[in-house]
Amino acid sequence: MNEPFVNGRCIIFRTNRRALMVALAVVAAGVLCLVAATTSVGPQPFVTIGMAMTGLGLLAANAIVRFFTWPAQASGEVRADGRGIELDGALVLPRERAARGFMRSVAGQSPRVRIVGPHDEILLEIETPNRKAARALLRATDLDTEAVVARFTLTHHVLGKTWTVIGLSWLPMIVGGSVMFGVSTVIEHLGGSEVVTMTASIATLVTLALGALLLYRWSRVQLVIGRDGVHLKSFGRRRYIAHGQIERLRRWPQKENSRSTGAMSEGFNLVLRSGETIALRTLAQRLRHGEAQKDFIFREAQAALADHRKTEGTRLSTLDRGDRTAADWVRDLRGIGGGAQAGHRSAAAPLDDLWTMLEDPRTEVEQRAASAVALAASGHANAGQRIRLLSRATANPALQSAFEAAADDDIERLEEAMAAIDEPSESA
């Protein structure tokens, strides 16, 4: 168990309710303008104008929420441990709500630890006296990069280009205006009333807006960086890439963005040993965290890859699946962990070797999963808890499922998870 951290000053980020109310009022005003345009004079001349005003209202609301939601600040004694983070004895952030934490440096200030949620939302920041204290806080909560995976939501490298963003911003308005004009004209030609025309126009507008929002969310790249590899999800497709498959990371050339941010690299490429290149645009994420010049996502991936290459992983042939079914494999592995002597395939293995293989991300996926099954049945104190903590640090979904099933000692789930270990992951 890690030592608790006691010290620091907590800065909690909360939404400014006044700014949120103003944003909602702007959106409501845009909708009212559209309704007034379609009910007073008729839909044909004013439908595009009303839609444009609604779109501008949405953009203004988004800008207000992003730039004018000042964080609330509360100072006091901070205690951090496995339960979460307390401020002056009161629990302000349960551990289960936090996904990861990282240290960030602010000019002229002490180091801060930023803690984010599963969707990369900022939960709070803790100002610490020095870098050593910041690292101690991360270790106390098991939020450091060695204990958890780093999750990021990135803009697709094609959709993130400036002219693409401008085009996609205007495209829904142009298409939507055309579609709404056509709908209103057809309904009027068929003898529909103004109320029916207005309702159909608004329904079309809402449908297009929701479609554009879903398309944007569907296209985002979900990047997970673990000690064993990276996991990508975009357009509904998933792909796991082990660190051993990556030849190198290559940053994009720097280019001038604006006077305020200056020249910077907008992302980096994963260059695989197969020759394939995967582009990752990180600029939007960095701007959101106020770290435009520092590509902390690239540094995270670079550190994980460098750590993986320090030494080669070890292996035990007795843990190999061979031609066994998943059920037989799990039974034999549990026999190995329990020290059974029922033949060479269930011969006892040194627990130290099993723990070394389990905790080493350079070890083969099959060997790590087999080690977890064996150790879960070994009767070792806190084995389940240690295996569950390791599941938070792997980016491989199949391996994570095997770790969790082993920690829960659920044989049925464990057999299913172990059967999926050898299945190839879907390519992106």
Residue of higher predicted confidence among 277 and 18: 277
Crossing angle between the packed helical segments 194-219 and 17-40, to the nearest 10 degrees: 140
Determine the CATH number of domain 5-12+70-148. 2.30.29.30
Q: How confident is the model at residue 288, as a pLDDT?
A: 73
Question: Is a pLDDT exceeding 60 seen at residue 371?
Answer: yes
Confidence of residue 88 (pLDDT cuts 50, 70, 90): confident
Residue with tokens 């000690």: 227
Sorted by sequence, the CB contacts under 8 Å of residue 160 that are 6+ apart come out as 266, 281, 283, 284
- Secondary structure class of 223 (helix, strand, coil): strand
Question: Is a pLDDT exceeding 80 seen at residue 246?
Answer: yes
Average pLDDT score, the chain: 75
Q: How confident is the model at residue 343, as a pLDDT?
A: 42
Q: Do domains 5-12+70-148 and 221-308 have the same CATH topology?
A: yes
| Residue 217 structure tokens | 């969310």
Sorted by sequence, the CB contacts under 8 Å of residue 57 that are 6+ apart come out as 26, 27, 29, 30, 31, 33
Question: Is a pLDDT exceeding 70 seen at residue 55?
Answer: no
Nearest to 206 by CA among 417, 324, 55, 83: 55
Domain residue ranges in the chain: 5-12+70-148, 17-68+159-219, 221-308, 317-419
Q: Is the dihedral of CA 84, 89, 90, 92 positive or negative?
A: negative
Residue with tokens 């910077």: 264
Mean pLDDT of 5-27: 65
Residue burial 87-101, b: 16+ Cβ < 10 Å; e: rest = beeeebbebeebbbb
Contact 298, 225 (CB under 8 A): no
Which residues sit opposite 263 in a β-bridge?
256
CA distance 82 to 219: 35
Nearest to 227 by CA among 327, 330, 361, 115: 361
Residue with tokens 């006296």: 129
Structure confidence by residue, pLDDT tens digits, 148-194: 677 888 887 776 555 554 455 555 555 655 666 666 666 666 665 66
Determine the CATH number of domain 221-308. 2.30.29
Overall size of the chain counted in residues: 428
| Residue 269 structure tokens | 């490429």
Residue of higher predicted confidence among 280 and 309: 280
Confidence of residue 340 (pLDDT cuts 50, 70, 90): very low
For the entire predicted model, the pTM comes to 0.62
Residue with tokens 């700014």: 19
- Secondary structure class of 112 (helix, strand, coil): strand
CA distance 192 to 195: 8
Residue burial 157-195, b: 16+ Cβ < 10 Å; e: rest = bebbeeeeeeeeeeebbeebbebbbebbeebbeeeeeee
Q: How confident is the model at residue 170, as a pLDDT?
A: 54
Residue burial 116-142, b: 16+ Cβ < 10 Å; e: rest = beeebeebbbbbbeeeebbbbbbbbbb
Structure confidence by residue, pLDDT tens digits, 190-226: 665 665 656 666 666 667 667 776 777 777 888 988 8
Residue of higher predicted confidence among 107 and 347: 107
